[in-house]
A and B are shown apart, each in its own frame.
Chain A
Amino acid sequence: MMEQPLTIVSWPKAILHVDADAFFASCEQAVNPALKGKPVVTGLERGIVAAASYEAKARGIKRGMRIGEVRRLCPEAIILPSDYETYSIFSIRLFEILRRFSPDVEEYSIDEAFVDLTGLRRLYHSSYEEIGRNIQGTILKELGLTVSIGISLTKVLAKIASRHRKPAGLTAIPGREIHLYLKDLPVSEIWGIGPNTSAYMKKLGINTALEFARKDEAFVKRHFSKPFQEIWHELNGRSIYPVNPEEKSVYKSISKARTFTPPSGDRNFLYAHLSKNLEDACRKARRYNLFARRIILFLRTQDFRDEALELRLTRPSAYPEEILPLLRKGFESLYKDGTLYRQTGIILGELVDSKSSFQLSLFEEPLRIERLERLYTVIDRLVERHGRGILFHASSFDAYFQKQHEGERGTIPSRKTTPLKGETLRRRLGILILK
């Protein structure tokens, strides 16, 4: 029974998943030959590892590890501050290359994408696997980056395939071979299945992805909610999740957080950062015409404990002016004198899109809201043109005029410190610079 294929159709659909290998570290190695073949780590400014090159991973360095620990483990490691400007240009180029092969490209994250290749075999006179190799070769040649590729019938399976062999791997799983790849895969490794669900599955006697896929539909419907029923279909080679080529504009939540060193216990400094987090988050929400009903504020202590509080608004808003008084109250009840904090953050949740989709309550003064809308339209335009520092709420003042990091954590990427002639801090050439 376990040896039987889950489906006998080879390629009813072909979905490719691209995952750039150790993306940030690889970008650094691609522009700077001095870093090739060496253990490279990014994230110096955050104090924890954001990305580690494969050479660094081979020495036991992992994402999220503290920089101090990296130094002890691997004194020769090259530790760099994150240069998001460079990484995002690489990312844009990566997606552009993919769009040359198929118009259906979903930009899943900065270094991951799904591509729908269904029906393109005839156009390229080659198998899906060969198209995958071609994509891999083009990315290596033009960007100097290696990517891992998985091709299968559904997104969930394509993701399993791309993880199967890394780095620079390529795995194609046709319908009749799905069961071979699911046989030894723990359920916790499936995209969309978290620690809670995998613990629950264990109680039902399901340990591997194949055991889950082999359950009959009635069983799955009885025990699992809709998202997991969908994953079950996807594991069986029936595509439920489409590749969505639209630009990412739907956010479930928006979060803005800031870490600073050394940790601080200064009430005003901390509140200023929280206020700035709120302004940044609201600005992003307004850009997508979104308004939040829930606001979570959190403070992270020096020893990595999070203390959080949720604010509920009577009416969705994206205007700091009316949220700030609530934020102040929330902060005061969260903040403890004498505690050192290393991070502040804001999460906007329950986002509704555009004001038209909610009703103003009878007691609101529409005029006041209209005034806010006009005010923030002007602020947004000013900020877009001149940068965040041009106009902000006075409550954020300390966050703007005190350095975020002191000591070596204050290191900024060289792209920022050495502008080319004619460039400014805010306006830079959108091109990758070799070092």
Chain B
Amino acid sequence: MDRELKERVRRLSQFYWKTGRMPSYSEMAGLFGLRSKNAVFRFISKIEKLGFIKRDSKGKLLPAGIAEPIKVLGIVEAGFPSPAEEELLDTLSLDKWLIENPTSTFMLKVTGDSMTGAGIFPGDLVLVDRSLTPKSGDIVIAEVDGQWTMKYLRREKGGFILEAANPAYKTIKPKKELRIGGVVTAVIRKYR
């Protein structure tokens, strides 16, 4: 892959990451140092074939390969497009896989043993997404007496209850409103 193409793809990707949208044709002309929109069109068609971008049913540009930071690394210093490269273009970073909504995801270090039955132990790290709507059966973080508590959310007689995954803990039936801080989406335990 030639250097110029690589540089242009990098700029396109950078633009996408910075603004969260695809640039217009005139913006791309500026981005790529091209004078005519026709030249931009030709370049866009080329990288579309390479799988860096795609189009929707109306022909609007969508990010494809450029939307993954790892993918761009995948093309560094490669001579010809090879099958191995194509494979790389589809990898997902561990970050993205674990964190679907980066702006609303928080981390919490587990302290108690009330969720051991669900495989969550003291010292574990859990990821909590504030933007998800909690459903019955989700593990959630709730605010109880000025502290975060992690429990199963269950529906019971029209209301919600918080249920531990450890028989030593009683079920919490919130008297006032239940303040949920987010839905637990993953548990991380790092050994070394």
Q: Are A33 and B143 in contact (CB under 8 A)?
A: yes
| A142 part of interface (Cβ distance < 8 Å) | yes
* A431-B147 contact, Cβ under 8 Å, with A142-B131, A143-B130, A422-B190: no
Please report the C-alpha to C-alpha distance between residue A28 and residue B73 in the assembled complex, in whole angstroms.
37
Pick the interface stretch among A93-101, A230-238, A294-302: A93-101
Selected from B103, B109, B128, B146, the residue in CB contact (under 8 A) with A36 is B146
Q: Are A103 and B19 in contact (CB under 8 A)?
A: yes
Please report the C-alpha to C-alpha distance between residue A124 and residue B109 in the assembled complex, in whole angstroms.
39
| A218 part of interface (Cβ distance < 8 Å) | no
When each residue 75-111 of chain B gets 1 if its CB lies under 8 Å from chain A and 0 otherwise, what string results? Answer: 0000000000000000000000001011111111100
Q: Give the chain A neighbours of B125 by CB distance below 8 A.
A: 420
Q: Give the chain B neighbours of A141 by CB distance below 8 A.
A: 104, 130-131
User: How many chain B residues touch the partner (CB < 8 A)?
Assistant: 27
Selected from B18, B101, B107, B146, the residue in CB contact (under 8 A) with A33 is B146
User: How many chain A residues touch the partner (CB < 8 A)?
Assistant: 25
| A203 part of interface (Cβ distance < 8 Å) | no
- Per DSSP, chain A at the interface is mixed
Please report the C-alpha to C-alpha distance between residue A422 and residue B105 in the assembled complex, in whole angstroms.
20
| B174 part of interface (Cβ distance < 8 Å) | no
Q: Give the chain B neighbours of A309 by CB distance below 8 A.
A: none
Interface centre among A33, A247, A435 (most CB of B within 10 A): A33
Q: Are A432 and B190 in contact (CB under 8 A)?
A: no
Q: Are B106 and A31 in contact (CB under 8 A)?
A: yes
Q: Are B107 and A142 in contact (CB under 8 A)?
A: no
What is the CB-to-nearest-CB distance from A292 to chain B, in angstroms, rounded to a whole number? 28
| B74 part of interface (Cβ distance < 8 Å) | no
Q: Give the chain A neighbours of B108 by CB distance below 8 A.
A: 433-434
Please report the C-alpha to C-alpha distance between residue A307 and residue B11 in the assembled complex, in whole angstroms.
47
Q: Are B131 and A434 in contact (CB under 8 A)?
A: no
When each residue 79-122 of chain A gets 1 if its CB lies under 8 Å from chain B and 0 otherwise, what string results? Answer: 00000000000000100110110010000000000000000000
Q: Are A33 and B181 in contact (CB under 8 A)?
A: yes
Q: Which residues of chain A from 392 to 413 have any CB-CB distance to chain B below 8 Å in the complex? A: none
Q: Give the chain A neighbours of B181 by CB distance below 8 A.
A: 33, 144, 434
Q: Are B146 and A34 in contact (CB under 8 A)?
A: yes
| B121 part of interface (Cβ distance < 8 Å) | no
Selected from B101, B105, B131, B141, the residue in CB contact (under 8 A) with A431 is B105
Please report the C-alpha to C-alpha distance between residue A144 and residue B130 in the assembled complex, in whole angstroms.
8
| B148 part of interface (Cβ distance < 8 Å) | yes
| B117 part of interface (Cβ distance < 8 Å) | no
Q: Are B190 and A100 in contact (CB under 8 A)?
A: no
16 A-B interface contacts by CB (under 8 A): A31-B106, A33-B146, A33-B147, A93-B102, A103-B20, A141-B131, A142-B101, A142-B104, A142-B130, A143-B130, A420-B125, A420-B190, A422-B190, A431-B106, A431-B107, A433-B109
Which of A's residues lie within 8 Å of B, judged by CB? 31, 33-34, 36, 93, 96-97, 99-100, 103, 141-144, 245, 247, 420-422, 429, 431-435
